[in-house]
Each structure stands twice: as C-alpha cells, then as structure tokens.
Amino acid sequence: MLLTDTHTHLYYETDAEKQALLFQRCFDNGVNRLFLPNVDVSSIAKIDDLVRKYPENCFAMSGLHPCDVKEGYESVLKEIHESIGSRKIYAIGEIGIDLYWDKSTLQLQQDAFLTQIKWAKALQLPIVIHCRDAFDEVFEILEEEKGADLRGILHCFTGNIDQAIRTIELGFYLGIGGVVTYKKAGLDEVLSQVSLDHLVLETDSPYLAPVPYRGKPNESSYLVHIAQKIADIYHISIEQVAEVTTANSIKIFNV
C-alpha cells in the first residue's frame, strides 16, 4: 500500500531524533510520498533539508502563506521567487486567502495570490490553495484565471457540496484531511456525492489530527486513519483508496 500525504509541515519538527521517528512511523504505515508546502522565507531551508535527507519521499513546494502576507510582502515574494530557480519544486503553495484571522489584509492577500498564480502558470506547475473563510474571494480569482494552465488542490477542503462541485469544475482536486473523521463536520456526507477520482489525501500536520488523535499534534503517519475513513465512506478497501488517491497526486504533481 502506497499512501501520499499531499500536504504536511513535517519540517516544523527540528529535533533530529524526533524527526527521524516521525518519518519511520510514516514508512511503517505505508505513507511514503510527502509533499511539503512552503509558508515563508524561513521554511525554504527546512524543506530543502528534508528533501536532501529523504530524496525519494519528500517533494518541495514554494509559496507565501496568506497569513504571512503583510505590508511590504512584495520583498518577501521576491525572495521566495528568486529561490525557485535553484530548487526543484512541484507546486506553488501554499497560497490563497485567509479571512479568519485578519480581514484587513484582503487586498494584499488577493494581490499576492494572483501574483503566485502567475508564477505557477509560467512554470507550468499546479497550485495548492489555502482557503479559510474565503470561498467567494478565492473562487472569484480562480474564475478570472481559469484555463488549462490553472490546476491543483484546494487544500483542507471542508466546504459544502456546491463548493465541492465548483472546485472540481475549475479543474481542482479536493484535499481531504483529518476533519473528515470529525462526527459533526458533515464532510462525509459531501464526499458521498463526489467521486473518489477528485480527491487527494493530506494531514496538514502538525494541525488537524484525525480521530483518534484529535486535539493532539498531528503527523503524517496518521494519514492511515483518514484513508480508512474515506474507505468507509466509499465502501471500498483502504488499499483501493491509497491506489486512487496516490494516482491522483501523480497526475497533479507529475511525480
């Protein structure tokens, strides 16, 4: 069984011994493909370090997280963009709009999102979108930019069926994480109306741990619990879930 975590911040763990154990638990649970979203300038080196340590398992992204888009963000974007030329990346991410913490930076976030979409198009790469309390704002930009050269993942999808269909029609996959295991989330009901062909799995570790670890730090090895929940929803084996969602990740990232 080969599972793919399309969104994990494993690089947040900087203790070498603890980090090695995190990876060993991943491999013990069949989680052998790990995609690392960038969030700011400082995380670039941390991601690159993991790619060097685990070149067959770790795949880098590059981007500026919307919560890190502040006044003067242009210089940060410039530094991130300049780093791309010397690194192998597989997506621009995570990028997008987050209005949960700060609505005052909406215009800046929109500008940064659009700039990074243009990077992705120029590099022929997918984007990985962070969207929190901002479906309308994200969709507005995606509708303006839609086309064969715009594709990727709507990370941590927790929307309703209409938002799921709209995401799929725009050529994006739904990134499904630990929230699907939460009883009151209702995400299982949404997914039961969507084909597995439109899903990829993720943990967003160390955040949003699935049941039975809810409320504790998340890790990529817990992807098996998310995969099992998906298997239960679709009444198929976890091996089938792994096969389809990993195949979807290969289509997206071309690796």
Concatenating the DSSP letter of every residue in 183-247 gives: TTT-HHHHHTTS-GGGEEE---TTSSPPTTSTTS---GGGHHHHHHHHHHHHTS-HHHHHHHHHH
Q: Is the pTM of this model over 0.75?
A: yes
Ordered per-residue pLDDT tens for the chain, 255 residues: 999 999 999 999 999 999 999 999 999 999 999 999 999 999 999 999 999 999 999 999 999 999 999 999 999 999 999 999 999 999 999 999 999 998 999 999 999 999 999 999 999 999 999 999 999 999 999 999 999 999 999 999 999 999 999 999 999 999 999 999 999 999 999 999 999 999 999 999 999 999 999 999 999 999 999 999 999 999 999 999 999 999 999 999 999
pLDDT reported for residue 202: 98
Best CA proximity match to 68, nearest among 38, 47, 91, 36: 38
What is the SS3 assignment for 49-71?
HHHHHCCCCEEECECCCHHHCCC
- Can the peptide bond before residue 94 be classed as cis, meaning omega within 30 degrees of 0? yes
Alpha-carbon radius of gyration of the chain: 17
d(C-alpha 65, C-alpha 134), whole Å? 14
Cβ atoms of residues 13 and 220 within 8 Å: no
Using alpha carbons only, what angle is made at residue 177 by residues 196 and 89, rounded to the nearest 5 degrees?
A: 90
Which one, of 25, 46, 28, 27, lies nearest residue 36 by Cα? 46
Q: Which domains does the chain have, with CATH numbers?
A: 3-253 (3.20.20.140)
